Amino acid sequence: MHQKIRDSIEQLSGSEAREFLYLAMARLDVLHLSDVPKEEIMEEINHIIQDCSSLLPPPRKDFHTVHIVSGDSAAGSLRFGLEREHKVIGFQEFFAMGPLWKLEEKKGRKERYEWLRDHINLDDYMEVEYESRLAKVMEEIRAIPEGMPIVLWTADNAGEQVFFRYILHLLQDKENEIRLINTSLAYKQLYDTADTFHFLRHTAEAHPEKLKEILEEKGSSPLSDEEIRLFVKEWLELSNTTEVLRIWEEDRIKCVPEDYYDELLLYHAREAQKENGKDTFIKSARIIGEMYGQLDALVNDSFLEYRLRTFVYSGILEIKGIPKAMRNYSVRVKQ
């Protein structure tokens, strides 16, 4: 019930939410000032909850294609670019980092959640939304009707490449045609010219209209049973690994040690220290931003922030502020 109420409220505009809150508070104020039995107060509160739940419109069923993509931004771009007959399922996952071990099982999902919660600063997302949104996405995938075409979107980065293999594992028992679109590759094929070269690292970097054109021009043939079997096999191999960091290199997913970026990250911290003086504390967001901007590979900035904190814990860096988010603290190289 709580999730249904949350979903209902999130679909309201600001003015609609304020109007509903005003009416609910007015009803409760009347009850507070009136001499009515407690049972009637509880009944009215229940009516308010039911009213809130009914704000969510009934789910649409007039889709002809389902699209599954990694990331809220990419999902939003697809929803904006495609017609209403296309259903988009998106989930804000970070499959380039964190454990993948036995993720298709409850114990694996629990281990992954605990690692992300204990190491990665994601504000309130991990505490409030992660598990409920994962459950919602899994239910949406299970509810895809048999026979409805499915399009999986990916790009040349470790996170999206792992994601679609995981989704194929979830879909392997469904009798649906499944198409796979690599946004990075399609973007090059459609928009590169003799003078202009595109390097699209993530599906979310593509404009909604471009995604629509990519679907129309590069909507490939359905994956064969053998292709699906091979991708699922690759997922099962990944789900037996214990590393917590992956990169996309030479057209394949490569597991690397979690300190893979440490040397480069510390270099940027020391360079920033040189520019600002040895006694100056440098905003952690600045160090991470400068490094992120020079990387060709797509790496989650939250992972880089986690590695920056390990320098603090090991005594290489000193800290000023509270490390609850990268914007909240600064560091300097320990003298």
pLDDT in tens, 2-16: 666 666 666 555 555
**Residue with more model confidence, 8 or 57:** 8
Q: What pLDDT digit, counting tens, does each position of 81-126 carry?
A: 998 899 999 988 889 999 999 998 989 999 999 999 999 987 666 6
pLDDT at 20 over 90: no
Instruction: Give the span between the Cα atoms of 232 and 242, in whole angstroms.
Output: 18
Mean pLDDT along residues 177-181: 97
Q: What is the 3-state secondary structure (H, E, C) of the chain?
A: CHHHHHHHHHCCCHHHHHHHHHHHHHHHHHHHHCCCCHHHHHHHHHHHHHHHHCCCCCCCCCCCEEEEEECHHHHHHHHHHCCCCEEEEEECCCCCECCCCCCCCHHHHHHHHHHHHHHCCCCCHHHHHHHHHHHHHHHHHHCCCCCCCEEEEECCCHHHHHHHHHHHHHHCCCCCCEEEEEHHHHHHHHHCCCCCCCCCCCHHHCCHHHHHHHHHHHCCCCCCHHHHHHHHHHHHHHCCCCCCEEEEECCEEEEECCCCCHHHHHHHHHHHHHHHCCCCCEEHHHHHHHHHHHCCCCCCHHHHHHHHHHHHHCCCEEEEECCCCHHHEEEEECC
Mean pLDDT of 295-324: 92
pLDDT, position 37: 74
Q: What is the pLDDT of residue 11?
A: 58
Query: Is the pLDDT reported for residue 127 higher than 80?
Result: no
Average pLDDT over residues 263-280: 94
What is the pLDDT at residue 204?
A: 92
Give the pLDDT score at 91: 84
Comparing 102 with 29, which gets the higher pLDDT? 102
333, two tokens: 């190289």
Q: Are 124 and 103 in contact (CB under 8 A)?
A: no
Q: How confident is the model at residue 55 (pLDDT cuts 50, 70, 90)?
A: low
Q: Which among 247, 251, 231 has a CA at the least distance from the CA of 239? A: 231
Contact 40, 31 (CB under 8 A): yes
Q: How far apart are CA 215 and CA 223, in angstroms?
A: 15
Residue 233 phi/psi, 5-degree rounding, is -60, -40
Which pLDDT tens digit goes with each residue over 194-241? 888 888 889 999 999 999 999 999 887 899 999 999 999 999 999 999
Return the higher-pLDDT residue of 301 and 219: 301
pLDDT of residue 67: 97
User: Across all residues in the chain, what is the average pLDDT?
Assistant: 87
Tens digits of residue pLDDT in 134-164 = 888 888 999 999 999 999 999 999 999 999 9
